[in-house]
Amino acid sequence: AGSYKLKIETGSAAAIKKVYYIFTDNDQAALGDQDIDGNNDKIKKFTEDQITRKEGYITVDVSGVSGATRHLHVVIATTQTVDQVTTDLRSEEFIKIIFGKHDNPTINLIQTPGKVYYKISDTIVLPITIDFPSSNQGYSILAARQTSKPDSVSGYNLHVQFTENKYSMQIPDTIKASNYDPIFVALIFDHSIVSEQKIDNIIICAPPTISDFKDMNSDKNVKYSADQLINLSFKADVVEDDASKASPMYQINSQTPEPALLTKNDDGFDQFTIKAPSEIPNNQQITVKLSIKDPAGQKAEKALKIDVKQSPYITESPDNSEVKEAYKAEEPIIVIIQFKHFEERTGKFEYKFYEDQSYIPLPEKNVKEFLAVRVHLLRSS
């Protein structure tokens, strides 16, 4: 970086004894005698070959001197007293030599496969590299999240950290809605922007919510029977406004959760269809729990109770005295059965003799009804 000497006026009566330097976070050194006496390990001593004594002043060679901050103080002790004279030099020329500024350091993007999702208060790992060691002094890395690039250094208001070989920044917990704005990163040196980069496809996800979860027939006071289809709808506030991408699932009572196949209706609601349980032993309410999970892993749930009624089913009559164990060919087979919880019969009866056999239509003339008991006359083959 060449040679750079700092001239310090000392006065004609001052006899220089020792010369030290120290870097601090501000322009106030505030050093005591005990510091200069060697009790402060941050204070470094200039060697004799770095000091040139002249009448009324000295020069010190500060080439190659570096520290963690940009405020350099030179401390002088005289033979008359252990006192200090502090000089703070912050010129552009001095900073370039002290910190060894690179010619053209740049921020480089690392290609990512697609969008990356984070939740509020997460730490974002920025897909960037910078072509100088992170410990290089004098540089800082700042960021801004907004629609367009900041006009100046003052527009960058987020701090970027470098740990474990990664550049990262903290998402503020004050964000109330999902954010799709790009992130602008700037490499700063001496209050000037050295390099800038725009990062797209980092999405901040606000916590998802579910509202207005309802049965689409709720205003009709419908009680559903076994296996009957039930149409449900809801509103979802989720990142990218697409609940179908948020792993929607539903669960009926304690059954295994299943994917909800969503469609969007004309009112902007998401809707899906479920089937009532196959066995409903008595009039009751079932609980349907709906859940969504956004790409950042945040989950929302909502539960709904739906009225269902006893399932109709068929049972054998207590009186099956006419049923025989064996039948001859073409001999009528009499089966007495009872219908439970049927409001009315629709459709036709079918029967089969073997598990792997196709069902055979039963002619209506072979069916006789006695009050709530229907008698099925099957003909053996």
With a pLDDT cut of 90, the percent of the chain lying above it is 35
* Residues in CB range of 169: below 8 A, 6 or more apart: 123, 124, 126, 143, 158, 159, 160, 161, 183
Beta bridge partners of residue 198, listed in sequence order: 184
Q: What pLDDT does residue 275 have? A: 93
- The answer to whether the CB of 101 falls within 8 A of the CB of 129 is no
Q: Is 243 exposed, middle or buried (0-12, 13-18, 19+ CB in 10 A)?
A: buried
pLDDT reported for residue 365: 86
Can you tell me the distance from the alpha carbon of 221 to that of 306, in angstroms, rounded to the nearest whole number?
10
What's the confidence (pLDDT) of residue 336? 77
Enumerate the domain spans of the chain.
Answer: 5-99, 107-205, 209-308, 313-379
Q: What is the identity of the amino acid at 326? A: A
Q: Choose the weakest-confidence range: 53-67, 172-186, 285-299.
A: 53-67
| Mean per-residue pLDDT of the chain | 77
- Tell whether the model's pLDDT for residue 13 goes beyond 50: no
Q: Do domains 107-205 and 209-308 have the same CATH topology?
A: yes
The answer on pLDDT for 3 being more than 50 is no
Between 324 and 293, the higher pLDDT residue: 293
pLDDT grade for 219, boundaries at 50, 70 and 90: confident
Least confident range from 21-30, 261-270, 277-286, 343-352: namely 21-30
Number of helices and strands in the chain (H, E): 2, 32
Mean pLDDT of 320-334: 74
Task: Give one DSSP letter per residue of 113-137, joined into a string.
Answer: SS-EEEETTPEEE--EEESS-TT-T
Q: Is the pLDDT of residue 150 over 90?
A: yes
pLDDT for res 118: 93
* Per-residue pLDDT at 215: 95
**140 pLDDT above the threshold of 90:** no
Tell me the C-alpha distance between 313 and 250, whole Å.
27
The torsion angles phi and psi of 136, rounded to 5 degrees, stand at -60, 125
Q: Note the pLDDT of residue 49.
A: 73
| 65-101 residue pLDDT tens | 555 445 566 666 655 554 444 444 444 444 443 444 4
The more confidently predicted of residues 342 and 188 is 188
Hey, what CATH class is 107-205 in?
Answer: mainly beta
Q: What is the pLDDT of residue 51?
A: 72
Closest alpha carbon to 21 in 60, 78, 79: 60
* Residue type for position 133: P
CATH homologous superfamily, domain 209-308: Immunoglobulins (2.60.40.10)
pLDDT of residue 173: 75
Q: Which helix (H) or strand (E) holds 129?
A: strand 128-130
**Residue, of 353 and 186, whose pLDDT is higher:** 186
Q: Provide the pairing of β-strand 332-340 with 313-316.
A: antiparallel
- pLDDT exceeds cutoff 50 at 1: no
CA distance 300 to 246: 10
CA quadruple 127, 131, 137, 143: dihedral, nearest 10: -30
